[in-house]
C-alpha cells in the first residue's frame, strides 16, 4: 500500500482567514496483488493545528490508485490566533484496513505566528491580508492628512477617485505622506531575505505606538492608509526591500502578482500610478513627497531589474477575496456579550464628501508636497 500527501509548506492565520487550502493532493495506491477492502485514511497533526479527518474507501483493486477529491481540512483558528512564535507541525496520514496499519506518510509544515507573513516564495498574494485599513492607527493618519489638505486650501475630503482626477489622487497620497511623517517614526532594519522567507509584521497601531518599523511595516502602513482613503495601493518587492505604490485612477492590474517591472514602469510613464520610498518618512526633517517618488522610481529603473521580485496589487487581491486580517479575535465580545461596533471617525466622515472638481491633467507630483 502506498499513500501520497502534498501540503502547503506554510500555514498562518492569514491563510486560514482567506480559505487557502492546506491539503493540496492526497492519493492512495494498492501496490499489492490482492484487492484491499474497508480502508480508512486518517489525517492528523501534532501539535493539533489541523483538525483530524478520516476518509473511507470500500475497495481498492490491485494496482489501482485513488485520488481523494475531498481535501477540505479544517484548521484550528483559535490555535493560529494565539500563536506568537512559528513552529513546525508534523502531519501524518495513516491508511488502515480492519485495524491493521498498511501505510504511513509524514510531512512537516511550518506554522507561522499570527502576525507573520510567509514571503514571496510560498504566499506572495497573502501580503494583502496584512494591509489593514480599519486599524485605529490608520484613522489617526487620515485625520491629520485631512487637516493638512484643508490648511493648503484643498478639499479635506479623502474621497479616493470620486473626482475623476489623477492629480487629486496624488494630492491625497502626498497628504498621507506628510501625515505619517509627522509621527516621528524611526527605521528598523528587516530580517535578511525577508522578501522570500517572510517576517513578522507590525500593525499600524503598533507602528504608531512603538514609533518604528521596517520597510515592509511602513509599506503596509502606507498601503492601509491609501486603501482607507479610497485609493488602490500596490506593494513592490525588491531583493531585501519593499516600497509602496498607488494607482492615480480607478484601475488595477489583471492579476494579483505582477512579475514584470516593465509593466510597472509603463504605467508610471503614462501617469497612471506612482510609487514612493516609504523609509524616507523616518528621516528628519521629512523629505518632500517628490523626493520619495524620485527615490522609488530609481529603485525600479531598468538597471535594478535584477533586484525586482514582484508587485502585489491590493485591489486585485480584494477582488480575489483576500481579506484584511481582523484587529481582534473574531469571536471577541464585550462584557455584555455583544460584539463591539466600530464608530465612524472624523476621517471616515470626511471620506464620504464629494466636493472635488475634476482637473483633467496628469498629476505634477513635484507640486504636491504638503
Give the N- to C-terminal CA distance of the chain in Å, as an integer: 69
* Confidence (pLDDT) at 368: 59
Query: Is-cis flag, bond preceding 106, omega within 30?
Result: no
Q: What is the pLDDT of residues 110-119, one digit of tens each?
A: 999 999 999 9
Residue percentage of the chain with pLDDT more than 70: 89
Q: Which residue range(s) make up the domain with 10?
A: 2-111
Integer Cα distance of 314 and 124 in angstroms: 11
* Confidence (pLDDT) at 330: 64
Average pLDDT of 249-269?
A: 96
- Of 93, 111, 129, which closes a domain? 111
Q: Tell me the pLDDT band of 175, cut-offs 50, 70 and 90.
A: very high
Average pLDDT of 53-73?
A: 95
Task: Decide which of 313 and 122 is more confident.
Answer: 313
Contacts of 68 (CB under 8 A, 6+ apart): 26, 27, 28, 41, 55
**Are residues 167 and 229 located together in one domain of the fold?**
yes
**Are residues 107 and 126 located together in one domain of the fold?**
no
* Confidence (pLDDT) at 365: 54
In terms of DSSP bridges, do strands 186-187 and 100-111 run parallel, antiparallel, or are they unpaired? Answer: unpaired
**Are residues 342 and 235 located together in one domain of the fold?**
yes
In this structure, are residues 125 and 322 in contact, taking their beta carbons and an 8 Å threshold?
yes
Q: Tell me the pLDDT band of 190, cut-offs 50, 70 and 90.
A: confident
* Confidence (pLDDT) at 357: 30
**Are residues 166 and 72 located together in one domain of the fold?**
no
Average pLDDT of 19-43?
A: 95
Contacts of 366 (CB under 8 A, 6+ apart): 288, 290
**Are residues 149 and 220 located together in one domain of the fold?**
yes
**Are residues 324 and 217 located together in one domain of the fold?**
yes
Q: What is the CATH number of the domain that holds 46?
A: 2.60.40.10
**Are residues 103 and 128 located together in one domain of the fold?**
no
Q: Tell me the pLDDT band of 369, cut-offs 50, 70 and 90.
A: low
For residue 342, pLDDT beyond 80 = no
Q: Tell me the pLDDT band of 345, cut-offs 50, 70 and 90.
A: very low
Integer Cα distance of 124 and 284 in angstroms: 32
Burial code (b: 16+ CB inside 10 Å, e: under 16) for 150-178 equals: eebebbbbbbbbbbebbbbbbbbbbbbbb
**Are residues 63 and 128 located together in one domain of the fold?**
no
Contacts of 370 (CB under 8 A, 6+ apart): 148, 149, 152, 171, 174, 175, 177, 178, 289
In this structure, are residues 305 and 264 in contact, taking their beta carbons and an 8 Å threshold?
no
* Confidence (pLDDT) at 197: 82
Q: Tell me the pLDDT band of 367, cut-offs 50, 70 and 90.
A: low
Q: What is the pLDDT of residues 96-115, one digit of tens each?
A: 998 899 999 999 999 999 99
**Are residues 87 and 171 located together in one domain of the fold?**
no
Lowest-pLDDT choice from 191-195, 285-289, 291-295: 191-195
**Are residues 40 and 157 located together in one domain of the fold?**
no
Integer Cα distance of 363 and 274 in angstroms: 10
**Are residues 196 and 106 located together in one domain of the fold?**
no
**What's the mean pLDDT when you consider all of the chain?**
89
User: How far is the CA of 348 from the CAs of 291, 328, 343, 357, in angstroms?
Assistant: 29, 20, 9, 20
- Of 46, 76, 111, which closes a domain? 111
* Confidence (pLDDT) at 350: 36
Structural domain total, the chain: 2
**Are residues 209 and 320 located together in one domain of the fold?**
yes
Integer Cα distance of 39 and 56 in angstroms: 6
- Of 69, 85, 111, which closes a domain? 111
Amino acid at each position: 500500500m502506498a499513500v501520497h500527501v502534498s501540503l502547503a509548506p506554510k500555514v498562518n492565520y492569514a491563510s486560514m482567514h482567506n480559505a487557502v487550502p492546506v491539503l493540496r493532493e492526497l492519493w492512495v495506491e494498492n501496490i499489492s496483488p490482492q484487492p484491499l477492502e474497508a480502508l480508512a485514511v486518517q489525517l492528523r497533526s501534532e501539535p493539533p493545528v489541523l483538525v483530524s479527518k478520516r476518509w473511507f474507501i470500500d475497495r481498492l483493486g490491485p494496482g489501482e490508485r485513488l485520488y481523494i477529491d475531498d481535501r477540505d481540512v479544517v484548521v484550528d483558528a483559535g490555535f493560529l490566533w494565539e500563536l506568537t512564535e512559528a513552529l513546525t507541525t508534523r502531519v501524518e496520514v495513516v491508511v488502515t484496513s480492519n485495524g491493521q496499519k498498511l501505510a504511513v506518510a509524514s510531512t512537516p509544515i511550518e506554522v507561522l505566528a499570527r502576525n507573520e507573513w510567509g514571503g514571496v516564495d510560498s504566499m506572495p498574494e497573502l501580503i494583502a491580508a496584512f494591509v489593514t485599513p480599519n486599524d485605529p492607527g490608520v484613522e489617526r493618519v487620515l485625520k491629520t492628512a485631512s487637516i493638512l489638505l484643508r490648511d493648503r486650501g484643498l478639499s479635506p475630503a479623502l474621497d479616493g477617485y470620486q473626482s475623476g482626477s489623477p492629480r487629486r489622487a496624488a494630492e491625497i497620497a502626498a497628504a498621507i505622506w506628510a501625515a505619517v511623517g509627522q509621527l516621528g517614526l524611526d527605521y528598523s532594519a528587516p530580517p535578511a531575505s525577508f522578501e522570500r522567507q517572510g517576517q513578522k509584521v507590525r500593525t499600524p497601531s503598533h507602528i504608531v505606538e512603538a514609533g518604528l518599523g521596517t520597510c515592509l511595516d511602513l509599506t503596509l502602513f502606507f498601503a492601509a492608509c491609501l486603501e482607507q482613503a479610497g485609493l488602490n495601493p500596490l506593494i513592490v518587492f525588491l531583493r531585501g526591500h519593499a516600497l509602496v505604490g498607488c494607482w492615480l485612477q480607478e484601475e488595477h492590474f489583471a492579476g494579483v502578482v505582477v512579475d514584470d517591472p516593465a509593466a510597472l514602469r509603463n504605467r508610471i510613464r503614462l501617469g497612471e500610478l506612482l510609487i514612493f520610498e516609504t523609509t524616507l518618512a523616518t528621516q528628519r526633517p521629512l523629505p518632500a513627497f517628490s523626493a520619495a517618488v524620485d527615490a522609488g522610481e530609481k529603485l525600479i529603473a531598468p538597471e535594478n531589474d535584477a533586484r525586482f521580485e514582484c508587485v502585489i496589487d491590493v485591489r486585485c487581491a480584494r477582488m480575489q477575496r483576500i481579506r484584511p486580517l481582523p484587529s481582534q479575535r473574531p469571536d471577541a465580545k464585550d462584557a455584555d456579550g455583544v460584539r463591539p461596533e466600530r464608530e465612524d471617525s472624523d476621517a471616515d466622515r470626511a471620506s464620504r464628501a464629494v466636493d472635488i472638481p475634476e482637473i483633467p491633467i496628469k498629476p505634477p507630483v513635484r507640486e504636491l508636497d504638503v
